[in-house]
Amino acid sequence: MPTDKAVSDHYLHGDLLNAIRTSLEKAGRTVESVTLADLAPVDEFHIGGRQATERFLSQLNFLEDDHVLDVGCGLGGAARYVADKYNIQVTGIDLTPEYVETGKVLCTWVRLDKQISLHAGSALDMPFQDRTFDGGYMMHVGMNIENKARLFAEISRVLRPGAPFGVYDVMRTRDGELAYPVPWAADGSTSSLGTPEEYRQALDSAGFMISRETNRREFALEFFGQLRARLEAEGGPPPLGLHTLMKESTALKIGNLVDNLAAGYVAPVEIIARKEW
């Protein structure tokens, strides 16, 4: 079972805010001029980036003035997108303090700090009152959490009845030996992949009614194929991207993820649900 420290340590960069600032400057941007689109290559830390975010979150039908929960918010990229697009309040929680503190600064850069609140902590024991949020989502989070039943029970606790909730996670879709490291784990000791069936059961037990489930494997393979072609055409990565987070291990982790996808062992899966009680 992965410990909180082991998971948090996996994502630790050490000088992340400075790395992002330096990369932005190389791209010709400044703190004063940076936009959400400028930050998207680094703070959308999931398969498909901003394109996947837009498709996934559009299915949740958030309303203006809602207060929604971002579980495993990372740098807060999705939170900033949601807050800006829907004019709502977003509260995020993530296990890695460096990501949270960096995310807070990024929110101030794009002037969304009044709408977004980011917290360091565990999704299994959130410091929020019962029935606080009008909706929520998690993107590439459950791969590091073994106890899916406890995860969704805790999420259910802080959502109001009727609240929409979405999951976009990498899930186990076929037996087989995975290649490591991958973006969420250096080896199997910090990886807790679940099957779609395990997610459905945990959501159902926590009081959620599932309305839609979509396997996004083909999208993922196409996305990575296009990414590889673009990198080859441009002679390497742009100044700011996921390599800013994963540093020298980026190519190996992404390569192994693509191999696991191609073998059918894993796939990114969307689950759209609603809290019933």
Query: With bands split at pLDDT 50, 70 and 90, how would you rate the model's confidence at 29?
Result: very high
Residues 48-99: tens digit of each pLDDT = 999 999 999 999 999 999 999 999 999 999 999 999 999 999 999 999 999 9
Residue 6 has a CB neighbour count (10 Å cut-off) of 14
Report the CATH number that the domain containing residue 37 is assigned in CATH: 3.40.50.150
Would you say 240 and 137 are in contact if contact means Cβ atoms under 8 Å apart?
A: no
The count of structural domains within the chain is 1
pLDDT for residue 1 is more than 90: no
Query: Within 13 Å and on the Cβ side, how many CA atoms surround 151?
Result: 25
**pLDDT number for residue 45:** 92
Mean pLDDT over 147-170 rounds to 98
Structural domain boundaries enclosing 227: 4-275
Which residues make Cβ contacts (< 8 Å) with residue 45, sequence separation at least 6? 74, 75, 77, 140, 183, 242, 245
Q: What percent of the chain has pLDDT over 90?
A: 95
Residues 99-147: tens digit of each pLDDT = 999 999 999 999 999 999 999 999 999 999 999 999 999 999 999 999 9
